[in-house]
Structure 1
Amino acid sequence: MASAPQLPLFYNGLEPLSSETHANYKVQPSTVAPFLANQHAIPLTVEEFPLVQRHMPIVFSSGDDAIPLALMGLNEGVNVFLDDSGKLLEETIYVPAYVRRYPYMLARLTPDAQELSLCFDPTSPTIGAFDQGDALFENGQPTELTRNILQFNENFEQAAARTAQFMNEVRELGLLMEGEVSIQQDGVEQPFVYRGFQMVDEQKLVDLRGDQLRKISQSGLLPLLYAHLFSLSLMRDIFARQVRLGKMPQPQLTM
């Protein structure tokens, strides 16, 4: 697993959405996400921890600028929740908001811009000058669909800001440590060892001073940390899914 990406994951380009340039653009919803089929680690916001921890492990990327990640597989190129076309194998699986916002995102058009503009990835097959689909503009004005897309992205940016604050607090408390998980498969001599991620050091969490524990309990930080810790037990479930799907990792590899 690598450090937090410098460029947005999934995006091949960004173009500001314009009522003039894209006046006739429409959206064609898709039930598949081929861009996700080979991605094993997806950025998360802290508000998603309670939902994600029921389905997949939550870890933190390596490096000083760590971000929360949901593991949809344990090895590069492996996603155990989708088939090869990018269709969910189970409809009840939670899909992180980072995935659901694609191909849109809010971005600054210039480095010194004060405001964020709604942009989209022009390489996405779900948006374009189609004959059929849901219109993004009518009579030069955003449709309800576009307003909803904008609202979702604004909510995501707010959640991302809260996640950054969460990570700052975790770093200040010195709670992160290098993670390692060893899984022994029946019939295989060597265990499968996964590294290259960070996790909360539970002993350091327990050893926090009373005033520190009280503060993170009152702020809502403590239950989020335990959601992360509880989710780590799903590592073996993800591994078992890889085995069932025939996507066997190699022993002694890192994520």
Structure 2
Amino acid sequence: MASAPQQALPMFYKDLVPLNSKEHGKWRIKGLDDGAFLAQQHAIPITSDEFIDACRNYPIVFSVGENSVPLILMGLNEGVNAYLNDKGQFDHPTYVPAYVRRYPFLLAKLNPDAEELSLCFDPTAGAIGEFDEGQPLFDGDQPSEDTKRILEFCENFEGSGQRTAQFMAELEKLELLMDGEVSIEQNGVDKPYVYRGFRMVNEQKLRDMRGDELRKLNQNGMLPLIYAHLFSLQIMRDVFAKQVAAGKVPQVSEAPSIQV
């Protein structure tokens, strides 16, 4: 089974194989039993299209460094996911990011010089194989209806990624992003937990923008997304409370950093 050319694989993916009828004509796909593959992930990429849905459940922040991307926080410390229980399942109905729903599939270039993207999958996921159960991936030598829907989802995700890149480029152009910091106090602990290592929109700078600049942000749809991000930051304290309840809070002396 030939793997797709790989450099650094995206989060979750351990291998990538191009899907084709010759090798996978009799293969089927079944749902993953749980979300164990994201149990150690505290920050998950999201697209700007998802801000409105995601802001109800998660803090939305931006990664540090060049090529900053939006992320939801499922934990405030590296390796901590406060949203999954011991069975790798969400305890409550919660929005699941498209990045997670896409797994184990991915559109990738089979040739670094090619422009066309091909549908690939992670064979280590345990969701695709020569199973007796599940939905077939092919109907003869043609993609099944399920495979067509998976391909459409991945194509839509790529389109959302392009819109997200444009959104981020505009934030950078307007110099609206700043280093973020949140201080959270815990009962019985003298010093607050101060979390850093992420970026956020500078709310004061947003307020000080000229009217024509704000009008442009409103007309191009960015302003609601910016406020969804800002409102979502309050949920950091809820995430912290989840970690406290699960006994997953470090010592204050460790100077915690979200590291996204």
TM-score bucket of the superposed structures, by smaller chain = over 0.9
1:48 maps to what in 2?
50
In structure 2, C-alpha distance between the alignment counterparts of 1:31 and 1:159, rounded to whole Å: 27
Q: Secondary structure at the match of 1:21?
A: helix
User: Aligned partner of 1:65: which letter?
Assistant: N
The alignment status of 1:254 with 2:260, answered yes or no, reads: no
* SS state at 1:20 partner: helix
Paired residues of 2:28 and 2:136 also in contact (CA < 8 A):
yes
Give the AA of the match of 1:18. N
**C-alpha separation in 2, matches of 1:20 and 1:188:** 61
* Aligned amino acid, residue 17 of structure 1: L
The residue identity in structure 2 corresponding to 1:8 is P
Deviation of 1:117 after TM superposition, in Å, equals: 0.4
**Equivalent in the alignment of 2:66:** 64
Amino acid at match of 1:43: P
82, 86, 89: which one pairs with 1:87? 89
SS of corresponding position for 1:9: coil
| Contact map agreement 1:61 1:67 (CA 8 A) in 2 | yes
Q: Say whether the 8 Å CA contact 1:101–1:153 is kept in structure 2.
A: yes
Aligned mates of 2:115, 2:47 — CA distance in 1: 23
Shift of the alpha carbon at 1:141? 1.2
Displacement, 1:138?
1.7
Matched residues in 2 for 1:249 and 1:125: separation? 33
What are the equivalent positions in structure 2 for 1:168-179 lying under 5 Å apart? 168-179=169-180
Amino acid at match of 1:166: F
- Across the two proteins, how many residue pairs are aligned to each other? 249
| Cα distance in 1, alignment partners of residues 54 and 111 from structure 2 | 34
1:234 corresponds to: 235
* 1:78 correspondence with 2:80: yes
CA distance in 2, matches of 1:166, 1:179: 19
Residue from 38, 41, 47 that aligns with 2:40: 38
SS in 1 for 2:123: coil
Contact 1:37–1:84, Cα closer than 8 Å, also in 2: no
Give the corresponding residue for 2:99: 98
Structure 1 spans left out of the alignment, 5+ residues: 1-5
Conserved? CA contact 2:44–2:74, under 8 Å: yes
Q: How does 1:120-159 map to 2 (within 5 A)?
A: 120-159=121-160
In the superposition, the TM-score normalised over structure 1's length comes to 0.95
Aligned to 1:3: none
- Structure having the larger proportion of residues in helix: 2
Deviation, structure 1 residue 28: 1.7
Kindly provide the CA deviation profile for residues 135-191 of structure 1, in whole angstroms up to 9, marking residues without a partner as x: 101211111110010010011000000000000000000000000111110101121
Q: Is the 8 A contact 1:193 1:253 kept in 2?
A: yes
Identity over aligned pairs, percent: 58
* Partners of 2:56 and 2:149 in 1: CA distance: 27
When the two chains are superposed, the root-mean-square deviation of aligned CA atoms in Å is 1.0
How far apart in 1 are the matches of 2:250 and 2:50? 28
What TM-score do you get using the length of structure 2 for normalisation? 0.93
Tell me, which stretches of 5 or more residues in structure 2 are unaligned?
1-7
Name whichever of 125-134 and 59-68 sits farther off: 125-134
Equivalent residues in 2 for 1:137-216, closer than 5 Å? 137-216=138-217
Equivalent-residue separation in structure 2 for 1:86 and 1:107 (angstroms)? 28
Q: Distance in 1 between matches of 2:117 and 2:251?
A: 43
The answer to whether the 8 Å contact 1:26/1:133 transfers is: yes
Q: Which amino acid aligns with 2:48?
A: V
Greater than 3 Å deviation, 4+ residue runs:
none
Contact 1:56 / 1:72 at 8 angstroms: preserved in 2?
yes
Secondary structure class of the residue paired with 1:253: coil
CA distance in 2, matches of 1:105, 1:142: 16
What SS class does the counterpart of residue 165 from structure 1 fall into?
Answer: helix
